[in-house]
Amino acid sequence: MSAVEQRAHRPRPLWAVVLAAGEGTRMRSERPKPLHRLCGRPMVLHVLDALAEINVDRVVVVVGHRADWVTKTLIEHTPPGMAIEFVEQERQRGTGDAMSVALTGLPTEMEDDGGDVVVLPGDTPLLRPATLASLVHHHRRTEAAATLLTAVLPDPTGYGRVVRGRDDAIARVVEHADATVEEREVDEVNTSIYCFRRSVLAPSLRRLSPANAQGEYYLTDVVDVLYQAGHRVESLVVDDTMEVAGVNDRAQLAVAEAELRDRINERWMRRGVTMWDPERTYIDAEAVLGTDVVLLPGVILQGACRVDDHAEIGPNTHLVESEVGEGAVVTYSVCRRSVIGADARVGPFVLLEEGSKVPPGGQVGA
């Protein structure tokens, strides 16, 4: 089979770029913004978790501020089987420049192979895999050069506005600081989540200019470049705007945490876990629960806890990376990196220090 025939039979490649180079000054923290935790897991890892569900060929993460810290964390916790590459944006010159740097991490031998590139910010941890899959499907079905995930907001202040041209195609995205009074009336906004045809991306990036209010290279300006060149730019409007909410400060972090906790609690209840009061039940993303587990009000499962079938936890109990065996009961207690055997009884008012072990059927406390 010739090389041309091999390419024709090869699945259309899909790559991803995660932009995680920013300092996040509004977080007011020494910790890089992508590593702030949501439900016990660094924010950017929630983005990678979503990408893991759509089977991308490779993920390129653009790092910058505290690059070593971000890289080390992701190497240790990247979803199994994900091929990941790191590139460093040494100077923060905007998202367009970050994307140019990112392209150096993609395989050059497949540059003209008809593949697509999904681009996401590292601070959108609530994006669902199904939404990403829909974006890619819409992009490929319409044969667009680029497809934007957009949202319609009652108050679009601060967001880039989507401006449409002939045939209702997207003509450009105007950042809020650069928008006219008329353009600021538009309620459809860019979410900074895209799918690009790779073959047109690099040439478009080379035509960007920093002639704007921020003096930066905007990735959004690629839309205007493609439109002027006669390419089709599409959009997919997200149904749930919470999915595309960015996290830029501690207040937004708390909002995202509450949303993600609600999703986690709902998932476990649908899998057979009873929660007396879901609003007062806190389960981190890495916890694993069996069927017929009962969680009473005030339960906190922090880190990679495991609670086996028929166990009962609470009220007002805090487990940190601990294991609870089948049928065990833990009440009014704190347990740190401990192992509690099947049918054991712990509490009330017990503190199990790190490394503690309660044997099956054992009892600790009053």
**CB under 8 Å to 6, separation ≥6 — which residues?**
none
CA distance 190 to 164: 12
Classify 203 as helix, strand or coil.
Answer: helix
Tokens of 16: 């991803």
Structural tokens at position 172: 């450009």
**Which ranges constitute the DSSP H helices of 177-285?**
198-205, 221-228, 250-270
Catalytic residue chosen out of the listed positions 7, 10, 12, 26: 26
Are 346 and 364 within 8 A, CB to CB? yes
Classify 192 in phi/psi space as left (phi over 0), alpha (psi -120 to 50) or beta.
Answer: left
Residue type, 191: T
Mapping DSSP to helix (H, G, I), strand (E, B) and coil, where does residue 20 land?
strand
Distance between CA 110 and CA 361 in Å, rounded?
Answer: 60
Q: Can you spell out the DSSP letters for 182-195? A: TGGG--EEEEEEEE
Report the distance separating Cα 192 and Cα 47, nearest Å.
13
Of all helices (H) and strands (E), which one includes residue 130? Answer: helix 129-141
CA atoms of 253 and 36, how far apart (whole Å): 8
Q: Is the C-alpha dihedral spanning 87, 256, 262, 126 positive or negative?
A: negative
Residue 169 structure tokens = 């195609």
Q: Can you say whether residue 143 is alpha, beta or left, with left for phi > 0 and alpha for psi between -120 and 50 degrees?
A: left
Q: Is 10 a catalytic residue?
A: no
Active site residues per annotation: 26
